[in-house]
Amino acid sequence: MKGKEQMPNSGERIGLVYHPDYLVHNQEHHPERKERLEQILSTLEAHPLENKIKKITPLPAELGTVALVHDPGYIESIDEACRQGRRFLDMDTYIVSRSYEVALLAAGGAVAGLKEVLEGECRKVFALTRPPGHHAERNRAMGFCIFNHAAVAARSACRDYGLERVAVIDWDVHHGNGTQHIFEADPHVLYLSLHQSPAYPGTGQLRETGCGAGEGYTINIPLPAGSGDADYLLFFERVILPVLERFKPDLLVISAGQDAYYRDPLAGMSLTHSGYYRMAEALSKTASACCSGRMLLCLEGGYHLQGQAGAVLQVLNAIGRWGLPVPEENPPREPAPATLRRLEEVLQVQSQYWPLRGEK
């Protein structure tokens, strides 16, 4: 195909959830705007991926499904706010007249992706939905987020498909306070987050480990600003992958925010496209070993348009084993001393719940 890179005829077909109405929720000059998706789509179209992607068009989520993680009164309040023509739900989270239906469609995108992963031909699906979701609390919009799509999918997997163990891995640069709080007392959903700290929203500290029956099923890895590929991958090797191996999830749900990319304007981390490739590759291998390869990725943040799009491409490249070139943008380095200190702190907290120091 003229003008497109050649790609080896190998790898796995990946489901891609998208609906053009995701572009309707939009405010010019806001970081979370329609160009985020447009750039991703443009980047994917520059490669010969027709036989590598199954396009999935979602329907709006049913209200009862959204109510698995959000209070019915809160859901109704979003509908009413849009009808009244309000412009902001909080100082960060805007709405337009159709934002309620778009938010339902975004939650429906996660549900459609889940259905494909568990019933369809694609074991791995990336839901290109917006607005993002992981900051949305049970009864509160936050941080550009209205409904929590990853949480809807995880809870639906347990209710509608009878899964006993779901792992949610959140690599967005900001802590997913909404997802953590929704599941912090639930031992069936393991929540793991790597995030910049200090940073918005200020949650996700080391000793936030869950409560009640869910104690030990929340793992927070707050990383210092400037953390890059080596730092993230160290925690994958020493914490995330061993915990997943022990937990043996039936499904991996990834809150896939690409705002830890080193050029993102709203954060201060140093991940590269290679780092995203390697994180996704590691999770894909774990999924193959523990849950028949089943992975659902839900788009979260990412505000450098080209950087986010390139990271999404490399995530798909990794989980699909497509063999596209992986750019090396920054010289590799060893984990920073601050990372090694933080690793010891994480091990100290989490080793009371998980065998992370070589214990059997």
Q: What integer pLDDT is reported at residue 331 of this predicted model?
A: 72
pLDDT at 330: 77
Residue 313 domain-assigned (yes or no): yes
- The count of C-alpha atoms lying within 13 angstroms of the C-alpha of 246, restricted to the half-sphere facing its C-beta, is 18
In a domain, 78, yes or no: yes
- Residue 314 three-state SS: helix
Tell me how far apart the alpha carbons of residues 60 and 62 are, in angstroms, rounded to a whole number. 6
> Could you list the residue range(s) of the whole structural domain that residue 278 is in?
14-350
Per DSSP, 275 falls in state H
Q: 138 in helix, strand or coil?
A: coil
Distances, alpha carbon 199 to alpha carbons 135, 175, 202, in Å? 13, 8, 6
As to burial, measured by CB atoms within 10 angstroms (0-12 exposed, 13-18 middle, 19+ buried), residue 223 is buried
Has residue 6 been placed in a domain?
no
Angstrom distance (rounded) from CA 26 to CA 245? 40
Residue 359 in any domain: the answer is: no
- Using CA atoms, how far apart are residues 315 and 78, in angstroms rounded to an integer? 32
Contact criterion met (CB below 8 Å) for 175 and 300: no
Asked, for residue 355, whether it belongs to a domain, the answer is: no
Residue 126, domain member (yes or no): yes
CB 336 within 8 A of CB 330: no
In the Cβ-directed half-sphere of 200, how many Cα atoms lie within 13 Å? 13
The CATH number for 79's domain is: 3.40.800.20
Report the predicted TM-score, pTM, of the whole model to 2 decimal places.
0.96
Instruction: Give me the active site residues, please.
Output: 135
DSSP secondary structure letters along 112-141: HHHHHHHHSS-SEEEE--SS--TT-BTTB-
Indicate the pairing of strand 14-17 with strand 53-56: parallel
Residue type, 261: Y
Residue 36: how many other CB atoms lie within 10 Å: 26
In a domain, 56, yes or no: yes
Per-10-residue mean pLDDT of the chain, 360 residues long, equals 53 97 97 98 95 98 98 98 96 97 98 98 98 98 98 98 98 98 98 98 98 98 97 98 98 98 97 98 98 98 98 98 91 89 98 82
pLDDT, residue 1, reads 36
**Tokens, residue 290:** 């523990």
Please tell me the total count of domains within the chain.
1
Q: Which helix (H) or strand (E) holds 142?
A: none
**Quick check: is 358 in a domain?**
no
